[in-house]
Amino acid sequence: MTTQAPPSQQQTGAWSEVESPTSLVVRFPDNDPLEMDSGGQIAPLTIAYQTYGTLNAAKSNAVLICHALTGDQHVANVHPVTGKGGWWETMVGPGLPIDTDRYFVICSNVVGGCMGTTGPASTNPVTGLPYGLDLPVVTIRDMVRAQAKLIDYLGIDQLFCIAGGSMGGMQVLQWAAAYPDRVFTAMPIAAAARHSSQNIAFHEVGRQAIMADPSWDGGRYFEAGQRPTKGLAVARMAAHITYMSDEALHRKFGRKLQNRAAPTFSFDADFQIESYLRHQGSTFVERFDANSYLYVTRAMDYFDLAADYGGSLALAFKGTKTRFCVVSFTSDWLFPTSDSRAIVHALNAGGASVSFVEIETDKGHDAFLLDVPELISTTRGFLDAAARARGIAPAGA
């Protein structure tokens, strides 16, 4: 992994770099707080991030990757907790569509997360204890404000591209609406401009599972030396079902039994799908914080971009010069194609340059994370054309 060094503390006179064995980390001082939609603020604010590739002399080749609900900054490197590859290693890397030999790629952990950026597990400077639920409630707009502070810190005026799927796609849309002059191209994938009531309902089931775990202890479980792993695992299991399509579940599992010839007539994991979901839950709790799950799901629930513009999504993008590529998947019932079409219609009404691709696949919402050839070719084609227009040389040129 090649990283571009951030400005030094001497150059900025305000920021400080924080040592971390797994990420680049910047700490913004008390006098530069993150002002939040809730009326609260975070100070000091810490942002953990990763970079890949090299920023060119014109600073015109920077790509910001926005991660989804349970993602983090480790988009294209081995994850320090799980030991697995980056969560978007099909898309980001040398010679891949988001080519780190050509672009300077940045990915930061969102505010409210649990991989180094200020979140509920971070120390509250007022109490000296973890924030817990004392952290102000976070919104997508707050996440983007924090990312904008990071981009300022890196000395980048305009991003060549912002891309992300699901909650990452929400951040892409918020960026394009709030900072249109700072975004040359935008790729919201498998996303929506507002969270549906059904999706809010799924999130509430997950939050209630966490809060019903006795070890949650009103969000103060760190102080008690415990973690609500059972509740968090159930939340993950319920959410994971929504990321897959019925076709994909049937193809992969059907009604096959797990390592047995006949049912046990018990509440053990008789079926392969039961064992799979339990595994997903148990591995998830090793890398994610329960309170962070509450915060980031709530941020998605509150997202309604049109509400910030008098109920008109078209006004959010009126007159924008940003070039958009909107992508959806036919089997995604969590963020169906109708959500993407609504974005495209608003962009057209706002006079934006937009292309739209609906990809045929049975892989469900998670398709944006998987090896889907049409997504790879679409991304490569869109970025290559934009790079030529921006004068960004091909890798090796």
pLDDT tens, N- to C-terminus, the chain (397 residues): 333 344 333 333 355 555 566 789 999 999 999 999 999 999 999 999 999 999 999 999 999 999 999 999 999 999 999 999 999 999 999 999 999 999 999 999 999 999 999 999 999 999 999 999 999 999 999 999 999 999 999 999 999 999 999 999 999 999 999 999 999 999 999 999 999 999 999 999 999 999 999 999 999 999 999 999 999 999 999 999 999 999 999 999 999 999 888 999 999 999 999 999 999 999 999 999 999 999 999 999 999 999 999 999 999 999 999 999 999 999 999 999 999 999 999 999 999 999 999 999 999 999 999 999 999 999 999 999 999 999 999 987 7
Is 166 considered catalytic here?
yes
Query: Which residue in 332, 339, 340, 366 is the catalytic one?
Result: 332
Is 67 considered catalytic here?
no
C-alpha distance from residue 11 to each of 145, 158, 347 (Å) = 22, 20, 39
pTM to 2 decimal places: 0.94
Q: Which residue has the tokens 């009604």?
A: 255
pLDDT at 396: 77
Within 10 angstroms of residue 30's Cβ, the number of other Cβ atoms is 9
Is 345 considered catalytic here?
no
- b/e sequence 268-299, b meaning 16+ C-beta within 10 Å: ebbbbbbbbbeebbeebbebbbbbbbbbbbbb
Query: Which residue in 67, 195, 203, 365 is the catalytic one?
Result: 365
Domains and CATH numbers, the chain: 9-195+304-390 (3.40.50.1820), 199-297 (1.10.1740.110)
Instruction: For 22-52, give the DSSP string.
Output: SSEEEEE-TTS-EE-TTS-EESSEEEEEEEE
Q: What are phi and psi of 242, to 5 degrees?
A: -75, -15
Give the 3-state secondary structure of 296-349.
Answer: HHHHHHHCEHHHHHCCCHHHHCCCCCCEEEEEEECCCCCCCHHHHHHHHHHHHH
Query: Which residue in 122, 166, 292, 328 is the catalytic one?
Result: 166
